[in-house]
A and B are shown apart, each in its own frame.
Chain A
Amino acid sequence: MAEYLIVRCHGLFTRFLPSQVLDALPNLGSLKDLADLLTATDYGGEVRSLTELNVHALERVFEEKLYERYRYMVKVAEGGYRDFLSQYRRRLEVQAISRIMRGKLSQTSVEELLKTIPSKQFLELDLKPIAEASSFEKAVEALKATPYREAALSLPWCLKHHSPLPMEYWLKKTYYSALLKALKSLPAGDREKAQELINLEIDVANCFTASAPLLYGYTLELVQRLLIPYSGKLTPAQLREAVEAKSPSTLLKIFSDYRDIARPLIEEGDEALAETAALKMVKAKAERLMVEAPIDFPYVLGYLKLCELECRNLVFTAHSINQGVEFKQYLVT
């Protein structure tokens, strides 16, 4: 049992932004208004300590709060739960390695690369050797010394398509494979519920990937290799069919279980709105898990999901305010 962890999550739940703050977000006129609104929240200390108020500084505050929340969860967890959470947190690492690889493929300077990745304290691995590699091939070589060694298999594909996507796919595949493996160390009841959430994430990622040939002319051969194999509701056959779909209506039919995501993605071409719909589904599922299992481990996973969504909403709000664009419909509420 992970009593302490679950109890901590119940306690930490109260630190989420209160509903009146969330309701006020779409009506804010400036970053200063946002900062003022956040001073009375869990973000208050960090926001007040900012010497310069700009969108990047605020974004850093929001992201570091999320990383800190991850870190804390791993710290207070024990046994199999700790292993699982530690593996779950590796999504930051996957994201950071993907960024590094994009940079390596395009010969971006190490300084630029390091600016885009979280600081070492929030990661399991030291990514500096990969970031400092002199070429993409050398970075892939450095990757072989990490748990992501399988991703090195994507090198010929990356070079063939001059694209980082095969590498990103392998990183994600390795991540989910390890996450699902870590999931097995959890008690059966916890495992099933947690897996629902993970499968939903994978399905959403596959929906976006599989629609790329029809919507953006991506190469079939490449996209077929970018589908994460551990899908939930979407079967491998359905995903293959989606990749080869010749019309939007076929895609909509295949993704009927995810029509809220598929419609803005396929009919309106608004990927951000589709992503919002996907995150709303994730949020609904997380909240359902938290209600159904308030004293079980899925509550912790639900809590982490809500942390991610809070961060995403705040980053979206800060950027949208900065650009002066409407964003109410893009908030995951």
Chain B
Amino acid sequence: MSISLGAAVKPTKGFLLQLKKRVSFIEEGYRLLELKRDELAKELRTSLEELAVGRKGFEEKVEEALKRLGRAYATLGTGEMASQTWVAEKNLRIEVLPKSVMGILVPYVRILNKPTVSDRYSPIARSAAQAFHNLIDGLVQLAELESRVERIADDLEKTNRKVNALEKIVIPQYRRIIKQIEDRLDEDMLEEFIRTKFVRTIISTRRG
């Protein structure tokens, strides 16, 4: 009985050795990817916890700032508040630099210039302006963290897909091929053995 193998697969001992070497290399890669996946999952979990805590604190600050802004609007009226907002400095400058976390490039944000609140606003408006000014650092940190989480999650998903593909498809496929080649080689050896035995029987019968 013959086993059908793919066109590129040669049922030879040399090819079998080559395949086995390749499988062990893939398995090594698989183990490394598994380690990366675990590390990424750990990193993601830590970052998510950090993000949840940071966001909660930040949301409280935003809520307070919005309350202040609302009170400023209510106290000063729309016209006065609108004119107060005109004098706001519009010179927030940030720099986004790449930072590598386990080979993943995550953004690192640096504030180059922060608008100032002092010396610009009349009472009431300055309290709202100060509250929003205090949010800038937190907002940048949170944006950095969110982006980091997104990138890590994205990479984790890719790594996970690779690990799964290796575990569920590539490695089993290679193992199946190895098994098939081994079976084929065993069959060939058995055939060869039987043929030799048969030939020897015929020769010994002829001799007499």
Which residues of A pack against B, CB within 8 Å?
55-56, 59, 63, 95, 98-99, 102-103, 105-106, 108, 112-113, 115-117, 161-165, 168, 208-209, 212, 216-219, 222, 269-272, 275, 312, 315-316, 318-320, 323, 325, 327, 330
Q: Give the distance in Å from the alpha carbon of A162 to the alpha carbon of B120 in the complex.
A: 8
21 CB-based A-B contacts, threshold 8 Å: A63-B77, A95-B80, A102-B83, A102-B87, A103-B83, A105-B86, A112-B86, A116-B82, A164-B87, A165-B122, A168-B122, A209-B123, A216-B126, A271-B127, A272-B72, A272-B74, A275-B123, A323-B74, A327-B74, A330-B71, A330-B74
What sequence of 0s and 1s flags, for each residue 68-112 of chain B, a beta carbon within 8 Å of any chain A beta carbon? 101111110111101110111000000000000000000000000
* Residues on B with beta carbons closer than 8 Å to the beta carbon of A325: 67, 70-71
Beta-carbon contact of A99 and B79 below 8 Å:
yes
Q: Give the distance in Å from the alpha carbon of A227 to the alpha carbon of B81 in the complex.
A: 22
Beta-carbon contact of B75 and A161 below 8 Å:
no
* Residues on B with beta carbons closer than 8 Å to the beta carbon of A316: 74-75
Contact A163 B70, CB 8 Å, known A168-B122, A219-B118: no
Q: Give the distance in Å from the alpha carbon of A73 to the alpha carbon of B142 in the complex.
A: 55
Given contacts A59-B78, A116-B83, 13 further A-B contacts (CB under 8 A): A99-B79, A99-B83, A105-B86, A106-B88, A112-B86, A116-B78, A163-B119, A164-B120, A165-B121, A212-B126, A216-B127, A222-B119, A320-B70
Beta-carbon contact of B117 and A216 below 8 Å:
yes
Measured CB to CB, the closest approach of chain A to B86, in angstroms, equals: 4
* Residues on B with beta carbons closer than 8 Å to the beta carbon of A212: 118, 123, 126
Beta-carbon contact of B80 and A116 below 8 Å:
yes
Beta-carbon contact of A106 and B87 below 8 Å:
yes
Q: Give the distance in Å from the alpha carbon of A218 to the alpha carbon of B77 in the complex.
A: 24
Beta-carbon contact of B71 and A106 below 8 Å:
no
Contact A59 B126, CB 8 Å, known A102-B86, A216-B117, A222-B119: no
Interface residue? B124 (CB, 8 A):
yes
Selected from A56, A275, A323, the residue in CB contact (under 8 A) with B70 is A323
Q: How many residues of B contact A (CB 8 A)?
A: 29
Beta-carbon contact of B124 and A275 below 8 Å:
yes
Please name the residue on chain B nearest to A319 by beta carbon.
B74
Beta-carbon contact of B124 and A117 below 8 Å:
no
Within 8 A of A (CB), among B27-68: 67-68
Beta-carbon contact of A117 and B86 below 8 Å:
no
Most chain B CB within a 10 A radius of its CB, from A55, A102, A168: A102
What sequence of 0s and 1s flags, for each residue 119-143 of chain B, a beta carbon within 8 Å of any chain A beta carbon? 1111110110010000000000000
